[in-house]
Chain A
Amino acid sequence: MKEESQQFYHDEVVTRLVQFSLIWAIVAMFVGVYLSAELLWPELDFGQFWLSFGRLRPLHTNGIIFGFGVSALMATAFYTVQRTSHIPLFMPKLAWFCCYAWQIVVLLGGLSLLAGWTSTKEYAELEWPFDIAITILWVCFGVVFFGTIARRKIETIYISNWFFGGLIIVIAMLHIVNNLAIPVSIDKSYSLYAGAQDAVVQWWYGHNAVGFLLTGGFLGMMYYFLPKMSNQPIWSYRLSVVSFWAFTYSYIWAGPHHLHFNSIPEWVQSLAMVMSLILLAPSWASMINGIMTVSKSSVKLHNNPALKFIVLSLAFYGLATFEGPMMSIKSVNVVSHFTDWTVGHVHSGALGWNAMITYGVFYYLVPRLAGRELYSLRLANIHFWLALSGTILYILAMWAAGVSQGLLWMSIDELGQLNYTFNDIMASMKPYYGLRLIAGLVFLSGTILMSFNLFMTIKGKKTVKVKPPTIVKASEVAA
């Protein structure tokens, strides 16, 4: 048994994490759709606190980021690190512990949010007992990942592993520092920071969670699965490494652009703006690297839904990473701040980049894990068009809503009085919010189709056992 566990890649845990990720995608996206309906018909909370917008919204974001996103990242990191190291996972039982314990923490954390436990910090709402549990599990994730790399059979640490490693290290640092707090009861703690410092620390966390989890982690996926699907090495390996370091050095400074025109020093805001603009270069370097890899490939896109999703995700990645720096420019931000433009920007990244690349990877991964063809190519192609139309409709609706809000709020008469009240402006948003609800429903229905397709693909099948390659080039053997 021990010999076998050393011989084959540990892919069963990958299969289970993919299944959990799909479940979280449906649950958290459904909550998102419900929230968009509540913005049209507020009575949908039925007078229940746990159904109120304020409690459901963090459930939506935490479910997507930590349930759907992190489960997918763990799955792909485990899958990738053992293959690119030519050795099965280090401490596979610990990997299983990470898999199940993470789901329990996300589930209980989600319920605690519904119960009203909250630190009030965006994307870090979970209270201190969950923060401690997440820290322990994240360290376990790191032990499995870095333990595998430490025992690798080839000298080079492949670029995906740099991104996954960056994800693990930086998220640990951000999570611990931002959540330092003094507990006063099981469900309440107070941050160690106060005032402007609290805001700066929070958005140092918030923006870099987007950076190193939702961008860096998913770039790790891209750099492994895109060459694999294209049957083509990455277009420029040198560019991938340089862009990783440039990305890492520049992202970490950009957080205070979330605090433009707030009570933090002016120079901190300007620095964040400049660093956000610099960030465009490494972001687009990865996009160009991905697109050029596909362009050199002989694999056809039209009957390959997995590759189609990944190529599309790169297009949205390029869009979102251009839009972000533009929105960090203070003269643009004066319009976009506190409007639905920001919501549209977040979703062009979350739906267009994170969800689509994950869908592409799952369409590639699940048939291989199950050892059989995808259950329905037709359903996958329908899903592709649902995902694309849902994302575009969502972004367009929120752009229109956001720009309208920004301009109407800045509209003043000759005496300097507001031309429109907050209520007037929000009442005029209904058509856009209706379109957003439709967009969410379309995107969710595609996700449900995919989940059905993938569950039918894997149904009744055990995960295929795959061995590392036996022939290793002499130049690659570690000394």
Chain B
Amino acid sequence: MTYFIFIGDMLVMLFMIVLVAWVFFKSSDETIDEAGKIPLEDEQDHG
């Protein structure tokens, strides 16, 4: 039972991480670059 729960936990973890990685890596490089620049382009000049 112990090994069943443990291996099950690990498989769920693996599935979720692979799912997230797959969803994320299908984003284009351009979208990723734009996302990374968000903090650098978020204000007009200080008043």
Contacts and interface: CB of A to CB of B under 8 A. Distances in A.
B6 A267 contact: yes
Contacts of A267: 2, 5-6
Nearest to A476: B34
B21 to A, nearest CB: 6
A237 interface: yes
A460 interface: no
Nearest to B17: A246
B42 A83 contact: yes
A270 B6 CA distance: 9
Interface in B1-35: 2, 5-6, 9, 13, 16-17, 20-21, 24-25, 30-35
Contact of B38 (A154, A464, A467): A154
A241 interface: yes
Interface string A244-270: 011001100100000000000111001
A468 interface: yes
Contacts of A465: 47
Instruction: Categorize the interface residue count of chain A.
Output: 35 or more
B36 A227 contact: yes
B34 A227 contact: no
A469 B36 contact: no
A476 B35 CA distance: 9
A295 interface: no
A234 B32 CA distance: 11
A233 B16 contact: no
Nearest to A293: B36
Interface of A: 9, 83-84, 86, 154, 156, 158-160, 224, 227-228, 231-234, 237-238, 241-242, 245-246, 249-250, 253, 265-267, 270-271, 274, 278, 368, 371, 464-470, 473, 475-476
10 contacts: A158-B39, A227-B40, A233-B40, A238-B24, A238-B25, A242-B24, A249-B17, A270-B6, A464-B47, A475-B30
Interface of B: 2, 5-6, 9, 13, 16-17, 20-21, 24-25, 30-44, 46-47
